[in-house]
Amino acid sequence: GQNIDQPTEMTATEGAIVQINCTYQTSGFNGLFWYQQHAGEAPTFLSYNVLDGLEEKGRFSSFLSRSKGYSYLLLKELQMKDSASYLCAVRDNAGKSTFGDGTTLTVKP
């Protein structure tokens, strides 16, 4: 099975940089996803890593180390609208994804 850990809450200041970590233990690995979820809404796709290294997409970057079972999501130039829950999800060989419980990020002025 899969076990995914991420911090419950984080707070950061508008314009700053924040890093949200995710560690996982898995019996089969075929990629790690990050999703953003605003309160009361569905998750929206942010990034996908299957190989080690950094994937950059605008203000958001995601890093993966398969040997360490570790990923992080880096958010730069934080905006108030970035206040949301950020979900880490690991996919197994069959295509099924297991989600962490999410990190609630609060961006303050």
Interface with another protein (CB under 8 A), residue from 26, 49, 91, 105: 91
Give the nearer residue to another protein in terms of CB position, either 13 or 25: 25
Give the nearer residue to another protein in terms of CB position, either 39 or 67: 39
Interface with another protein (CB under 8 A), residue from 22, 82, 100, 107: 100
Q: Of the candidates 54, 11, 17, which has an alpha carbon nearest to the alpha carbon of residue 32?
A: 54
| Cα distance between residue 51 and residue 39, in whole Å | 31
User: Quick one: 104 exposed, middle or buried, by C-beta within 10 A (0-12, 13-18, 19+)?
Assistant: middle
Footprint on this chain of another protein (rule: CB under 8 A):
4, 30-31, 33, 35, 41-45, 48, 87, 89, 91-102
